[in-house]
A = this chain, B = another copy of it.
Amino acid sequence: MERTGVDLFSSPPPLAPPTTEEQLLDWLCLLRSRRVGPASFRRLMTAHDGSAAAALDALPAIAAASGTADYRPCPRDQAHMELRAGRRAGARLIALGAPCYPPLLAELDDAPPLLWALGALGQGALCGQPDAPAARLLTTPGIALIGARNASSLGLRMAGLLARDLGRAGVPVVSGLARGIDASAHRAALEAGTVAVIAGGIDTVYPRENAALSADIVRTGVILSEMPPGTQPRARHFPRRNRIVSGLVRAVVVVEAAARSGSLMTARIALDQGREVLAVPGHPLDPRAAGTNMLLRDGARLVRSAADVLDALDLPAAAQPAPRRAVSKPPATPAPYGRSAPPRAEAALPPRLGAGLRQRISALIGATPLPEAQLFAQVPDTPAAQLVATLQEMEIDGEVQRLPGGYLSRE
């Protein structure tokens, strides 16, 4: 059948999830192989008829063709060890394409092929039971609440109120389990169940002070990580984590953010993903509101309460159980809240413009670390925002490494 629908080009092709332990090991091996990021995982799978084993076999030849001799994929032992470590921590792997893989996340080009999940997901073989209590939190698109670590007391209260009321309205609250706004949001949504995406491995706790909160989240909700168990979170992991936070949801609410804060970066990623960005206002003379006010000024929807959020997304205010997704029967309608309209300026860029830019960047970066500023100077005709976004993609795909001190390199 010919592909004619526009959406076939904008949405990545679907993958069939692994159904046996062996296939799962193939996926893990492929995903953990050097230079295979989430986006290239998907491309490799598509090129090999959805067989991770076939893609693995082809990897050394592909590497050789691009000039890398003796490339070795991730050893099978390592995948075995990861599987054992994750299961020892009580977690299970959720594969892209599986019934309880979050539907909005699956639409991203760089959706994590495998997610480690800790929570009330039942006893299902590979991904838990779709009707387990916490599975609903994954299959129902939620709302992300994000904001400053060093939040004000007003900000913390606001995060709590929003999370509590969104939870009561049946909307999963998603955040990053950081200090401040994140922790406050998770805590207030415990009763309804909440989704925390962490930057480190599923068996790590960061920050330490959230250890008790983590344990509480797992009881009624889910903690997710795309990293191998044992990974200690580093600065470079956070942008990757943030793309999952916003990828899981229809809308990101920035509760409190100063100018040039990490929350604003997440908001930008969210816009690039086609998510709604909403913001809580603050007084202009309070610097902790500079970021949210900037977003509002640039057109973000204003949030005074959970009602504003539900209203902005045309969600019912009353508590309402999420639609159960049957495994056997494909859903008749698209995902409950399909992609919302595209973001402003970014929408005008042709989506594939980045491809040529990636090649140019690849050519400029080598094994010797290059200062980021120097790279910027060498592509002066490219808008900085686009350059930053492309670099971020490449980093997530493992094509570029960020080194301490603002250096970039390729292996």
Residues of A whose CB lies within 8 Å of any CB of B are 154, 157-158, 280-286, 289-290, 293-294, 296-297, 301-305, 308
CB-nearest residue of chain B to A281: B281
Q: CB-nearest residue of chain B relative to A280?
A: B284
Q: Which residues of B contact A302 (CB under 8 A)?
A: 281, 293, 296-297
Q: Which residues of B contact A283 (CB under 8 A)?
A: 154, 158, 280-283, 286, 289
Identical copies in the complex: 2
B305 touches A284 (CB 8 A): yes
A302 and B301 alpha carbons, distance in the complex (Å): 12
* Docked-complex contact A303 and B284, CB < 8 angstroms: yes
Q: Which 3 A-B pairs have the closest CB atoms?
A: A281-B281, A284-B304, A297-B302
B282 lies within 8 A of A154 (CB): no
List 28 A–B pairs whose Cβ atoms lie within 8 Å, in order of A's numbering.
Answer: A154-B283, A154-B285, A157-B285, A158-B284, A158-B285, A280-B283, A280-B284, A281-B281, A281-B282, A281-B284, A281-B293, A281-B302, A282-B282, A282-B283, A283-B286, A283-B289, A284-B303, A284-B304, A284-B305, A290-B304, A293-B302, A293-B304, A296-B296, A296-B302, A297-B301, A297-B302, A297-B304, A297-B308
Shortest Cβ distance from residue A16 to the other chain B in the assembled complex, whole angstroms: 45
Quick one: which of A286, A294, A302 has the most chain B CB within 10 A?
A302
Q: How far is the CA of A304 from the CA of B282 in the complex (A)?
A: 10
Q: What 17 new A-B contacts, CB under 8 Å, besides A294-B304, A297-B301, A297-B308? A: A154-B283, A154-B285, A157-B285, A280-B283, A281-B281, A281-B282, A281-B283, A281-B284, A281-B289, A281-B296, A281-B302, A283-B283, A284-B304, A290-B304, A293-B304, A296-B302, A297-B302
- Report how far A284 CA is from B285 CA in the complex, Å: 15
How far, in angstroms, from A183 to B281 measured CA to CA in the complex? 25
- A296 neighbours in B (Cβ, 8 Å): 281, 296, 302
What is the CA–CA distance of A229 and B302 in the complex, to the nearest angstrom?
45
CA distance A281 to B305 in the complex (A): 15
Query: What distance in Å separates the Cβ of A283 from its nearest Cβ neighbour in chain B?
Result: 5
A296 to B285, CA, bound (A): 17
A285 closest partner in B (C-beta): B154
**What CA separation (Å) do A319 and B87 show in the bound complex?**
67
- List, in ascending order, chain B residues with CB within 8 A of A158's CB: 283-285
Query: Residues of B contacting A308 with CB < 8 Å?
Result: 297
A154 to B297, CA, bound (A): 20
Name which residue of chain B comes closest to A296, CB basis.
B302
A246 CB, min distance to chain B CBs, angstroms: 22
Residues in B whose Cβ lies below 8 Å from that of A286: 154, 283
* Closest Cβ–Cβ distance, residue A355 to chain B (whole Å): 35
* Complex CA–CA separation, A302 to B154 (angstroms): 20
Interface centre among A283, A293, A302 (most CB of B within 10 A): A283
Give the distance in Å from the alpha carbon of A282 to the alpha carbon of B308 in the complex: 16
Q: Which residues of B sit under 8 angstroms from A284, Cβ to Cβ? A: 158, 280-281, 303-305
Cα–Cα, bound, A286→B280 (Å) = 12
Residues in B whose Cβ lies below 8 Å from that of A297: 301-302, 304, 308
CB distance from A296 to the nearest CB of B (A): 5
Shortest Cβ distance from residue A165 to the other chain B in the assembled complex, whole angstroms: 12
**Complex Cα spacing A297 to B280, Å:** 11
Assembly CA distance A283 to B154 (angstroms): 8
State A304–B289 Cα separation when bound (angstroms). Answer: 10
A305 nearest in chain B by CB position = B284
The answer for the CA separation of A302 and B283 in the assembled complex, in Å, is 11
Most chain B C-beta atoms within 10 Å of own C-beta, residue among A286, A289, A290, A296: A296
Neighbouring B residues of A304 by C-beta, 8 Å = 284, 290, 293-294, 297
Inter-chain CA distance A308–B302, complex, in Å, is 17
Task: Give the distance in Å from the alpha carbon of A280 to the alpha carbon of B296 in the complex.
Answer: 11
Residues of B within 8 A of A301 (CB): 297
Residue in A284, A301, A303, A308 with the greatest tally of chain B CB atoms within 10 Å: A284
